Structure formats: C-alpha cells, structure tokens
Amino acid sequence: MNQTYKEQFDRDGYVVLKQLFSEQEVNALKKEAVQVLKKKEVGKEGVYVGMAAASPIFAAAADKEELAEVLQEIIGEEVVFLSDKIVFKDAGTDFGSPWHQDYPYWKGSHKYSVWIALDDADADNGCLRVVPGSHLYGDINHQGDASDGLGFGNRLREQDIDPDQIVDLKASKGDAIVFHDLLFHASYPNKSGKERWALISTYKDGTQADPHYDWATAAFVVGRSRS
C-alpha cells in the first residue's frame, strides 16, 4: 500500500512533490524574481529573503492549493506561511550550503520548509542533500566552523554526518521538497557554469506559540482565501 505524505514525512523528515509547479509557472516566477530584485536594487547573489512580501505572484505560489493540501496533511489544519527566500547559485557561483538543521536559526515551534527547484538541479549544479530520518535526532549542537564568511552561522561538523546515510535529491525544475527543520541538509556547490536557483518557503503550525519573527512580514494562513 502506498504511504501517505504524512507517513513518509514522519519517517524520513521530508517528502518530494514532483512537478508541483509547471515549467510555465517556474518561468513566470524566475521572471518576477528578476523584476523584484531590480526594484529592490539588489543583485542575484547568495540569498534574498522576502519574495512573497514583495510580489503577489510569489505570495500566490506560497499559497498554491496542491501544496497547501499536502502541508495541511503533514502539519495540521492551520498552516501559516511565514516567509520565503531565493537561493541563487548563478553560473559563476561555487558555494555549497553546509550541513545544518534549520531549527537553530529560528527556534520556537518546529517549522517546515519547501525547497522548490527553479532550475533542474543535480550534483553538478547544487541539488539538495539530506540524511533521511535525521529529524528524529533532536536539536543538535552546531559546532561546525563557520569562519569562511559564506553565511550559515550554524553548521554541523563533518563527524556529525554519516556519509552512507546521505541521499542526493536530484530535482527537475518545478519539483518541491517539503522538509522538517531538524532534518540534516546541505547542497552541492554549483560547478556547472549554469544557473541553479531555488525558492524556499517556510511554514508553521498556526496553533503553536512562537516568538515574534520580524522577518515574517508576509505571514498568512494558507488556503484562507479559498475557504
């Protein structure tokens, strides 16, 4: 019998949603991202936080019905979208995101992120890597060295990761990966000379108390506009 998304998520700490966005939708998001950044006068470098706060097209993507249904199955009836960001690995970018859990960045109730491929992604241009089931290891003390100036102040150490447990999540443009904030994850550097952009949207269970997040400027309950 096929497992439900919730069963898969509870076991692995992530689920893959193939082709959540069509090629046309992804192209529209990329085009809109370029406009947003132009208006904000920022370059396509590293990470840009706050796409849905800046653009109704991104706000609609964060509230996409098929995604909302899966999130409600996994999280519960009241799913709150908090914020999103684009992680740019442009043709000349050669940084991989280091191994980490997201939880130490925001604490409070557990959060759920959706990593959406805006380009095909594989080991050559920076696909996501995960350790299935590591969301069950708890809140790990991040003692990795973060002195290279590439961000990600909370990093796991090499010895925290068992290489035999790593799964590379090769993705096609439009695929999405929903993952728990305790899941060990990282991404490869982009050595391909081609773009690798990803959109990451973060959600929480609206019934759970939390500190105030001043970055959650576009927060809303998903699906509310349809009910």
Q: Which of 177, 207, 121, 169 is nearest to 5 (CA)?
A: 177
Q: For the beta carbon of residue 162, count every other beta carbon within 10 angstroms.
A: 10
The nearer residue to ligand AKG, 111 or 223, going by C-beta atoms, is: 111
> Least distance (Å) from ligand AKG to the CB of residue 119?
11
Among 29, 118, 178, 200, which residue sits at the site for ligand AKG (rule: CB under 6 A)? 200
> Least distance (Å) from ligand AKG to the CB of residue 87?
4
The nearer residue to ligand AKG, 109 or 154, going by C-beta atoms, is: 154
> Least distance (Å) from ligand AKG to the CB of residue 198?
4
Q: Strand ranges (DSSP E) for the chain?
A: 14-17, 46-49, 79-89, 111-117, 128-130, 167-169, 176-180, 185-187, 196-205, 220-221
The single residue listed with the structure tokens 């859990």 is 101
**102: contact with ligand AKG by CB under 6 A:** yes
| Residue whose C-beta lies closest to ligand AKG | 187
The single residue listed with the structure tokens 């409600």 is 72
**198: contact with ligand AKG by CB under 6 A:** yes
The nearer residue to ligand AKG, 36 or 128, going by C-beta atoms, is: 128
DSSP state for residue 120 in the 8-state scheme: -
**93: contact with ligand AKG by CB under 6 A:** no
Q: Rounded to 10 degrees, what is the CA torsion of 128, 133, 135, 137?
A: -130
> Least distance (Å) from ligand AKG to the CB of residue 95?
8
**187: contact with ligand AKG by CB under 6 A:** yes
> Least distance (Å) from ligand AKG to the CB of residue 212?
21
**185: contact with ligand AKG by CB under 6 A:** yes
Please, which of residues 129-168 interact with ligand AKG by CB under 6 A? Answer: none
Which residues, including other chains, have CB under 8 Å from residue 156's CB and lie 6 or more apart? 98, 99, 100, 101, 140, 142, 143, 144, 184
Tokens of 112: 């759920």
Among 55, 93, 97, 125, which residue sits at the site for ligand AKG (rule: CB under 6 A)? 97
**87: contact with ligand AKG by CB under 6 A:** yes
Strand pairing partners for 15?
178
Q: How far apart are CA 79 and CA 224, in angstroms?
A: 10
> Least distance (Å) from ligand AKG to the CB of residue 35?
21
- Residues forming contacts to ligand AKG in the complex (CB under 6 A) are 87, 97, 102, 126, 185, 187, 198, 200
